[in-house]
């Protein structure tokens, strides 16, 4: 055998040994559990984050991807895209409704059932996925039946492995807005575990068997390392903007900034900032299903606040604006796809703050109307001067460093040095009266 052949044989055997060694090491390495936190309404940002997490879990060859979920629901089409992403995942996905006090309402019910494993923390809830119309009320019976039938078919497809009680309940979650707490959901078979925390969940899952793409998978999670996948800075920022309270606050502040630019023109900066805040706020609103009746009421509220400046009604329009804002906020995010209640602090605080600002602006406008003019012809009325040439009845006075012809309105002569007050102006002649010393 030539030297070249010996070298090639050595390299080949070395490759085989390294391959066997690497395979053995990797087989003995414990696969990690990847965990992400998903909170708030279903938005395109949530979809993007979950898609990235699924890809990352596959790249890391993770034991499982745990989605800690807390959502009031959201747009159905986006929810379907997330469900499709979860079902197609090569890594088992565990949906864990968390923290205690959280919920998987409306579309969140679909996301929970789309997981290979479903779990809930104590004092959490799931369900209430009944469709309503865009104003928060009941919809036409025929249309409602069509929507319900589609949603029931979809959710039954996700829950068909969970038994008859679970199938009956998920149908009622659509048709009757049924909801269940963690204990009830476990008894019905809607979920697999009730876990106090993540460690408890992983301990209960150890040895649990599921079917994934036709293959049997048994979890080994008791001692598996846990890795957290955090949202990027951009995802965090967009999530904050898409928060209903923040989006509404940005729109409110933007409106105030533009209002300030209108009443104090020339600076441009407040107008630019206001437009930017409005655009960002409307972007956030655009990520969510919006009740148009609620949006109309909030726009009406802004209109009433502005109208108060130009048609003073001593607070009546501002009071109407506050009422419209509160009513609009109550139903703004209550649609057939999302049921979200703005915090009371936002519902009351934002319109009160805006009413105070507009009220302050109104007060300044009215004060400006009441101020005595200090320049021009009008500024002379009420001004004080000193007699330089006796008024008998006409003479000359000194006012603002200028000499003016003046006539006494008192009928009596006014001596040199006497203080006088301008009562009226007639061209270049001022009518004055004597002032007390």
Residue 413 belongs to domain with CATH number: 2.40.50.140
Radius of gyration (Cα) for the chain, nearest Å? 37
**Residues 82, 187 within the same domain:** yes
Q: Is 19 within the bounds of a domain?
A: no
Q: What stretches of 89-232 show up as alpha helix (H) in DSSP?
A: 107-114, 141-159, 164-175, 182-188, 198-205
Sorted by sequence, the CB contacts under 8 Å of residue 21 that are 6+ apart come out as none
**Residues 277, 324 within the same domain:** yes
**Residues 207, 278 within the same domain:** no
| Domain boundary pick from 233, 264, 287 | 233
Q: Is 209 within the bounds of a domain?
A: yes
Q: Is 161 within the bounds of a domain?
A: yes
Nearest residue to 81 via CA among 125, 55, 48: 48
Q: Is 24 within the bounds of a domain?
A: no
Q: Is 141 within the bounds of a domain?
A: yes
Q: Give pLDDT, residue 187.
A: 97
Q: Is 9 within the bounds of a domain?
A: no
Active-site option among 106, 130, 318, 408: 106
**Residues 36, 157 within the same domain:** yes
- pTM for the full predicted model: 0.70
| Domain boundary pick from 370, 386, 411 | 370
**Residues 222, 263 within the same domain:** no
Give residue 380's domain range.
376-434
**Residues 295, 325 within the same domain:** yes
Q: What does DSSP assign to residue 264?
A: S
Q: Is 323 within the bounds of a domain?
A: yes
Q: How many domains does the chain have?
A: 3
Rounded Cα distance, 9 and 269, in Å:
75
Rounded Cα distance, 251 and 278, in Å:
5
Q: Give pLDDT, residue 344.
A: 74
Q: Give pLDDT, residue 60.
A: 96
In DSSP terms, 397 is beta-bridged to 387, 404
Rounded Cα distance, 37 and 203, in Å:
19
**Residues 117, 254 within the same domain:** no
Nearest residue to 283 via CA among 240, 326, 335: 240
Q: Could you please report the per-residue DSSP string of 141-183?
A: HHHHHHHHHHHHHHHHHHHGGG-HHHHHHHHHHHHS--EEEHH
Annotated active-site residue 146? The verdict is yes
What is the pLDDT tens value at each position of the chain, 437 positions in all? 556 555 555 554 565 555 455 444 444 457 999 999 999 989 999 999 999 999 999 999 999 999 999 998 888 889 999 999 999 999 999 999 999 999 999 999 999 999 999 999 999 999 987 765 544 445 567 777 888 898 999 999 999 999 999 999 999 999 999 999 999 999 999 999 999 999 999 999 999 999 999 999 999 999 999 999 999 999 999 888 988 888 888 988 898 888 778 777 766 888 899 999 999 998 988 888 888 888 889 889 888 877 876 776 667 887 888 888 888 888 887 766 665 667 777 778 888 877 777 667 666 656 655 545 555 556 688 888 999 999 988 999 998 888 898 998 887 889 998 999 998 888 888 999 988 76
**Residues 39, 115 within the same domain:** yes
Decide the pairing of beta strands 429-434 and 419-426.
antiparallel
- Residue 227 to residues 33, 67, 224, 234, Cα–Cα distance (Å): 6, 12, 10, 21
Task: State the sign of the Cα–Cα–Cα–Cα dihedral 237, 344, 322, 132.
Answer: positive
Tell me, rounded to whole angstroms, the distance of Cα 96 from its chain centroid.
24
**Residues 96, 208 within the same domain:** yes
Q: Can the peptide bond before residue 99 be classed as cis, meaning omega within 30 degrees of 0?
A: yes
**Residues 110, 147 within the same domain:** yes
CB burial of residue 217 (10 Å; 0-12, 13-18, 19+): middle
Task: State the sign of the Cα–Cα–Cα–Cα dihedral 292, 294, 299, 303.
Answer: positive
**74 and 60 Cβ atoms separated by less than 8 Å:** no
**Residues 216, 363 within the same domain:** no
Active-site option among 6, 14, 146, 364: 146
Q: Is 363 within the bounds of a domain?
A: yes
Residue 220 belongs to domain with CATH number: 3.90.226.10
**Residues 407, 322 within the same domain:** no
Q: Give pLDDT, residue 336.
A: 62
| Domain boundary pick from 185, 209, 233 | 233
Rounded Cα distance, 190 and 207, in Å:
20
Q: Give pLDDT, residue 22.
A: 47
């Amino acid at each position: 055998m030539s030297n070249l052949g010996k070298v090639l044989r050595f390299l080949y055997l070395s490759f085989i040994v390294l391959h066997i060694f690497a395979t053995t090491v990797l087989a003995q390495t414990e696969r990690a559990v990847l965990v992400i936190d998903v909170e708030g309404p279903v938005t395109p940002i949530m979809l993007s984050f979950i898609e990235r997490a699924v890809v990352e879990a596959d790249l890391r060859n993770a034991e499982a991807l745990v989605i800690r979920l807390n959502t009031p629901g959201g747009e159905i089409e986006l929810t379907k895209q997330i469900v499709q992403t979860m079902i197609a995942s090569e890594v088992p996905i565990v949906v864990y409704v968390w923290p205690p006090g959280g919920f998987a309402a409306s579309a969140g019910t679909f996301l929970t059932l789309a997981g290979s494993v479903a779990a809930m923390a104590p004092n959490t809830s799931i369900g209430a996925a009944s469709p309503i119309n865009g104003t928060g009320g009941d919809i036409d019976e025929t249309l409602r039946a069509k929507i319900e039938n589609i949603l029931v078919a979809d959710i039954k497809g996700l829950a068909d492995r969970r038994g008859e009680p679970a199938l009956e309940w998920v149908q009622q979650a659509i048709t009757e807005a049924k909801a269940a707490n963690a204990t009830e959901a476990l008894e019905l078979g809607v979920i697999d575990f009730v876990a106090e925390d993540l460690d408890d969940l992983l301990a209960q899952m150890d040895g649990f068997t599921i079917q994934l793409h036709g293959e049997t998978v048994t979890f080994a999670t008791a001692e598996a390392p846990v890795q957290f996948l955090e949202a990027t800075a951009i995802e965090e920022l967009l999530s904050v903007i898409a928060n209903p309270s923040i989006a509404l606050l940005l729109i409110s502040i933007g409106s105030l900034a533009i209002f300030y630019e209108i009443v104090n023109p020339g600076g441009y900066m407040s107008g630019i900032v206001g437009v930017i805040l409005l655009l960002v706020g409307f972007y956030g609103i655009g990520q969510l299903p919006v009740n148009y009746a609620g949006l109309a009421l909030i726009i009406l509220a802004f209109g009433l606040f502005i109208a108060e400046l130009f048609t003073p009604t001593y607070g009546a329009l501002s009071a109407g604006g506050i009422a419209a804002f509160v009513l609009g906020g109550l139903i703004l995010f209550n649609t057939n796809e999302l049921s979200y209640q703005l915090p009371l602090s936002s519902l009351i605080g934002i319109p009160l703050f805006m009413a105070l600002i507009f009220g302050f602006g109104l007060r300044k406008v009215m004060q400006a109307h009441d101020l005595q003019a200090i320049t021009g012809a009008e500024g002379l009325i009420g001004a004080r001067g000193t007699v330089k040439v006796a008024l008998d009845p006409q003479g000359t006075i000194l006012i603002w460093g200028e000499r003016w012809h003046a006539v006494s309105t008192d009928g009596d002569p006014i001596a040199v040095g006497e203080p006088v007050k301008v009562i009226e102006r007639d061209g270049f002649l001022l009518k004055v009266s004597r002032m007390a010393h």
